[in-house]
Every structure is written in structure tokens, then in C-alpha cells.
């Protein structure tokens, strides 16, 4: 089920610092009290929350809750290889 209402991560600021090295994708600042409250209010029944870091049309970064959940007809799109697993399936 995909919720069309956007739920932005309160208490979190995502930014890209001008002049930062290429390997620094973004800087994230967190107001612990606000973010903790938001996390507790929005976590799923297993205690997790998924966030997507996106870029707005004006170039600013932000974090938005990802509420997508597979339905019973969905098939997994990726396989996780555990330690000791067969590496023959890896594309590299």
C-alpha cells in the first residue's frame, strides 16, 4: 500500500555542503527530541521506519518516510547472500 500523503522526517535536516568532497553525499543534522518523537509516532509494527532521501525541484535535499509495503502478490526483487553463501549469483 502506498500512502500518497507525504510524511517528512521532523527533526532531521538533510543538506549537501558547498565544496564538500564528492564522496560526502549529504550532511544530516538531527534534533534528537523532535526526531525521537517523530520516529516513535511513525515506526511500523516491527519497530522500523524507512526513509528516502530526495532532492526537491529547487535542489534542496530532504528525508521523507517510505511507507511502501508489498502486497501478497509481490515477489522479492533481490536476494540476500548470507555469509558462507554461494557467490556464483553475484553480478561482479
Kindly report, residue by residue over 21-49, the tens digit of the pLDDT. 999 989 999 999 999 999 999 999 999 99
pLDDT of residue 1: 43
CA distance 30 to 14: 9
In contact, 6 and 54? CB cutoff 8 Å = no
Does 2 score more than 60 pLDDT? no
* pLDDT of 88 strictly over 80: no
Per-residue pLDDT at 21: 94
Q: Write the burial class of residue 16 (CB in 10 Å: 0-12 exposed, 13-18 middle, 19+ buried).
A: middle
Burial class (CB in 10 A: 0-12, 13-18, 19+), 76: exposed
Report d(CA 64, CA 46) in Å as an integer.
19
Where do the structural domains in the chain lie, given as residue ranges?
1-69
Q: What is the reported pTM?
A: 0.64
Alpha-helical (H) ranges within the chain are 32-42
Which SS3 state, helix, strand or coil, does residue 15 take?
Answer: strand
Amino acid at each position: 500500500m502506498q500512502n500518497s500523503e507525504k510524511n517528512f522526517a521532523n527533526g532531521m535536516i538533510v543538506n549537501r555542503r558547498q565544496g564538500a568532497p564528492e564522496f560526502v553525499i549529504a550532511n544530516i543534522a538531527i534534533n534528537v527530541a523532535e526526531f525521537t518523537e517523530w520516529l516513535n509516532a511513525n515506526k511500523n509494527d516491527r519497530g522500523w521506519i524507512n526513509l528516502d532521501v530526495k532532492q526537491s525541484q529547487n535542489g534542496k535535499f530532504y528525508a521523507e518516510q517510505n511507507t511502501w509495503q508489498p502486497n501478497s502478490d509481490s515477489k522479492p526483487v533481490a536476494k540476500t547472500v548470507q555469509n558462507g553463501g554461494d557467490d556464483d549469483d553475484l553480478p561482479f
